[in-house]
Amino acid sequence: PNAGDGVAVLAALNVTAPGGNATWSNNFQYSTGSDNDTRQGEDLISVSPEAAAKYVHTGSAYYYFYNSWGSWIPRFADEKLLLGFNTLLANANGTLSYLSGQPYSGPSNLNTCWYGVGAYAKYRINDWFSLASRGEYMGANNSWIFGNQGTGATTKGIANHVTGDNLWEYTLTAEFHVVDDLKIRTEYRMDWGSNIYVTSTGGPQGLQSGGPAYYAGVEVVVGF
């Protein structure tokens, strides 16, 4: 990172059931300095392009990241049912200052935390058809990770301070096994959250919405 050398600690714990039908994975990372990325300026943490365009970092940072996921194929379902989950918790901290000419110039401490959870289920009804469902949630204490959701992208204690972002999604997928190595999937998805649709910079104000937004699609999967 641009503040000097850093040290990272990685740890992992993986557990598999004796029968092999369930797994649980845990991964942890701590770093004394986040990595520079390809966004504008010398970023110390991974922030949205909209926020990154308005500042440069001037100090060191640290972050930690914990991810856990697991899957289970219940014996009672004759190996037709697959259940899964994943969780995320991360935090980054550092010091930044805005570019000259920005309305919120001056140094500011940055402390952003983001988290999420997801649950998944897939059931194979017969040899040619299966149905899958997925629900996910992502949240953050400010806009540095998910972007400016209708209010100012800043962590300063001013009127337009972002108090948190909340993103939800639900997906339902039908999968058709046509022949070996050929599948057709149809998918329906719904997204909603805290002002997930906002006016572009310079556009009319007040046009914000938390959704929901809908998506439907078809994909062909070929294996070789």
Over range 213-222, report the average pLDDT.
94
Per-residue pLDDT, 197: 63
Residue 42: band (very low, low, confident or very high) from pLDDT cuts 50, 70, 90: very low
- For residue 54, give both structure tokens: 């308005």
Asked if residue 33 has pLDDT above 60, the reply is yes
* CB 181 within 8 Å of CB 220: no
| CA distance linking residue 69 with residue 175, whole number of Å | 23
Task: Tell whether the model's pLDDT for residue 198 goes beyond 80.
Answer: no
- pLDDT tens digits for 56-81? 554 456 778 899 999 999 999 998 99
The whole-model pTM stands at: 0.74
- In which element (H, E) is residue 14 found? strand 8-16
